[in-house]
C-alpha cells in the first residue's frame, strides 16, 4: 500500500526540537520496535477474525522504508540498532509522524494503533518531566525555605534539649533521682509508672516483704541497667541487692514522657516544664 509522494515531504528535515519545547513530541520508535508492534497487532487480528498474516521480517521492512518515505528523507532516520549479540546493524529510528506513515503503508488500522501507542507514550513522558509554572516554582521555593527553617528550629531545639539533659543527668542516677530534677513530677509514683511500662518488675514473690525491683527485658541495656550490691550482715547470709540505674537513652525517654505529660504529676504542679536544681539528696 504505497504512500503518494504528495503525502511525504522528501525535502523536509527530520524533526529537531529544543529542550524548551514540549518534550512529549520527542517520542520515537525504531524499525525493530515497529516490526514487533506490527506482528503483535497482526496476531491479535488473527485471533479475533481468523485471518492469516505472514510474519513481517525486519529485512523486508527496511526495504520498504525508502519506498514509503523516499530515499532522501529515509536516510535522515538511519540508526545503528544492536542485534541479539549487541552488534550494531542498520535500522531506523522514526519520530511519531514517520512511524505513523510506515504503519499506514500496511493498513489504516495499524496507523491508528501506532498513533494511539505513541500518543500514550507522549502523555506518560510529559507527566514525568513536566516543568512547574512560574507560580508553582515560587511556591516550591517558598516551601523549601520554610522546610529549611523548620529543620533549623528543630535542630536548635534538639541541641538545647541535649544540653539541658546533660545538665541534669548524671551517670549512676536512678529513675526516681532523675525525676526529682523535673518540676512537678510525683517521684513517689515514678516506679509504679515504670512498672506499668514494664521497664521494671518486682522479683519478690512474698507480698509481705519489701519490693525488689529488677530491670525488665524491654528496658534492659536500652533505658536501664542494674547496679549489684552484695550485702552481708552479721548472722545473715550474704545477698545481692539490685538497683535499677538510668542510662542516657532512658533519661531522654523519661524527659519525652515528661514533656508529653505521661509521667505521674503532683496535684500542686504549677504547669511549668522546667528543671530543678540538684540537691545532695537527689544524687545520694
Domain termination site, one of 80, 113, 129:
129
Provide the pairing of β-strand 28-30 with 88-95. Answer: antiparallel
- Max distance between CA atoms of the chain, in angstroms, equals 119
167 and 228 part of one domain:
yes
**Which are the contacts of 95, defined by CB distance < 8 A and separation ≥ 6?**
14, 15, 25, 26, 27, 28
- The confidence score (pLDDT) of residue 242 equals 92
Q: What phi, psi does 122 have (nearest 5°)? A: -60, -45
pLDDT value, residue 106? 92
Q: Are 93 and 166 members of one domain?
A: no
My answer on whether 111 and 191 are in the same domain is: no
* Positions in the chain whose pLDDT score sits under 70: 1-25, 128-132, 134, 157-164, 277-284
166 in the same domain as 125: no
Asked if 186 and 229 sit in the same domain, the reply is: yes
Domain termination residue (choose one: 87, 110, 129) = 129
Dist CA 41 CA 250 (whole Å): 67
Q: Which three cell numbers stand for residue 121?
A: 507514550
**Which residue is associated with the grid cell 530515499?**
71
pLDDT at 231: 84
* 8 Å CB contact between 276 and 186: no
CA 157/CA 130 separation, integer angstroms: 38
- If asked whether residues 167 and 98 sit together in one domain, one would say no
Residue 185 resides in a domain: yes
Distance of CA 233 to the CA centre of its chain: 61
Question: Is residue 204 included in any domain, yes or no?
Answer: yes
> What is the reported pLDDT for 162?
64
Q: Is the whole-model pTM more than 0.85?
A: no
Q: Are residues 125 and 31 in the same domain?
A: yes
Residue 55: inside a domain, yes or no?
Answer: yes
Domain count, the chain: 2
The pLDDT tens digits for 141-150 are: 788 888 888 8
- Does residue 138 sit within a domain? no
Check whether residue 67 and residue 111 sit in a common domain: yes
177 shares its domain with 245? yes
Residues sharing a CB contact under 8 Å with residue 104, sequence separation 6 or more, in sequence order: 1, 3, 110, 111
Residues 65, 119, single domain; the answer is: yes
Residue 254's CB is within 10 A of a number of other CB atoms, namely 25
pLDDT recorded at residue 278: 59
Q: Tell me what pLDDT residue 147 has.
A: 85
- Give CA–CA dist 25/254, Å, rounded: 60
For 65, phi and psi rounded to 5 degrees? -60, -50
Structural domain of residue 75, as residue ranges? 23-129
| CA distances from residue 271 to 105, 160, 184, 246, 258 in whole angstroms, order as listed | 83, 20, 8, 25, 11
Distance CA 45, CA 57 (A): 18
Amino acid at each position: 500500500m504505497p504512500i503518494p509522494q504528495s503525502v511525504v515531504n522528501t525535502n523536509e528535515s527530520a524533526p529537531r526540537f529544543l529542550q524548551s519545547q514540549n518534550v512529549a513530541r520527542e517520542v520515537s520508535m525504531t524499525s525493530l520496535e515497529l516490526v514487533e508492534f506490527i506482528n503483535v497487532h497482526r496476531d491479535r487480528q488473527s485471533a479475533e477474525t481468523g485471518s492469516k498474516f505472514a510474519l513481517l521480517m525486519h529485512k523486508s521492512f527496511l526495504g520498504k522504508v525508502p519506498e514509503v518515505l523516499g530515499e532522501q528523507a529515509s536516510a535522515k532516520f538511519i540508526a545503528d540498532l544492536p542485534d541479539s549479540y549487541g552488534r550494531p546493524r542498520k535500522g531506523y529510528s522514526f519520530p511519531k509522524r514517520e512511524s505513523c506513515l510506515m504503519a499506514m503503508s500496511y493498513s489504516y488500522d495499524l496507523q491508528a494503533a501506532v498513533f494511539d501507542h505513541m500518543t500514550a507514550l507522549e502523555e506518560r513522558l510529559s507527566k514525568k518531566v513536566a516543568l512547574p509554572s512560574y507560580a508553582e516554582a515560587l511556591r516550591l521555593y517558598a516551601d523549601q525555605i520554610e522546610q529549611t527553617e523548620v529543620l533549623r528550629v528543630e535542630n536548635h531545639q534538639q541541641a538545647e534539649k541535649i544540653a539541658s539533659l546533660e545538665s541534669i543527668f548524671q551517670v549512676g542516677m536512678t529513675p526516681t533521682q532523675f525525676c526529682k530534677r523535673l518540676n512537678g513530677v510525683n517521684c513517689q509514683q515514678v516506679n509504679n509508672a515504670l512498672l506499668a511500662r514494664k521497664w521494671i518488675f518486682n522479683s519478690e514473690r512474698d507480698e509481705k516483704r519489701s519490693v525488689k525491683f529488677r530491670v525488665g527485658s524491654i528496658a534492659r541495656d536500652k533505658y536501664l541497667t542494674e547496679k549489684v550490691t552484695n550485702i552481708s550482715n552479721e548472722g545473715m547470709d550474704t545477698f545481692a541487692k539490685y538497683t535499677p540505674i538510668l542510662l542516657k537513652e532512658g533519661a531522654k525517654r523519661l524527659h519525652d514522657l515528661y514533656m508529653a505529660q505521661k509521667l505521674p504529676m503532683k496535684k500542686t504542679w504549677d504547669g511549668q516544664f522546667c528543671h530543678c536544681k540538684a540537691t545532695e539528696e537527689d544524687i545520694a
